[in-house]
Structure 1
Amino acid sequence: MKHILSSVAAAGLMMTAACASYDSDEQAKTDPRIGEKVDRICFGRTIDGWRDVKGKDNVVLLERGVNEWYYTELTGVCRANALRSAIAIGIESRPAGGCVTKGDVIIVEDSPGFTQRCIITDIYKWDEDAPAPDEDEDDMM
């Protein structure tokens, strides 16, 4: 009986993960700023910049170099207001030669001594010059 319950729980987790992946892929298709999916971001020494995406929780933009932004989807309690007010952000990565990949952890410090851990679920290139979805709708009216 325990084996059956474990199998049912595992199947449920796999379906949830599949649905989450489908949702993020669908979102990427509807927002022209979200580009192709990438498997890693390689930084020289540190993250060059970060910021939140207006109105989106569990997402952070990471900058590598000059104006090379990546839309990074997260899981955990990674609210936009915490990312917006962060005083420090760091990466807890597995040994990957200075690269951040799916499954690595972003640590957000939004006030001294208080940190949040957010796991990277997907990484996409970000086109800052593309119009936001709601900007497209405003131009049509």
Structure 2
Amino acid sequence: MKVWLVNTNTKGKNKNPNGFKYMLRQNKASAYYDRASEVDRIKKSDLVLLYHNDNRIIAVGAVVNHYEGHDYKVLNEVEHWVDVNWLWKASFDNNFVPTNSINRNKLGITMVNGTVGNVTDQVDYKALFEEIAMKQQF
């Protein structure tokens, strides 16, 4: 099992500032445009940490289906995705700002280059699951 940090690319210059809502609602981790194929490395049973700007992790999930060649055109650009069962998702206020996100720096996850990154060697599972337990809202 590997752990992947998947960037939601919410900044306006990335052409899809609401992509994180789509990923959370559709239970998928996606990449678009020239970085779409980065998702192809993620396999079934891997763990995905959905990364939002300002060092925030907004969801943690297990991959239930790896990429199988399903391309989908969004605004004339290709999307690649893996199906994810979100084990934990942050809560959001009315402006879609996460209210209980997990700070990746607190977990020692320093790699944020690119849209999809293998951070397996940086993850302390005990610390990650302790953070999830503290951030749960019922």
Question: TM-score category by the smaller chain?
Answer: under 0.3
Greater C-alpha Rg: 1
For normalisation by structure 2, the TM-score amounts to 0.27
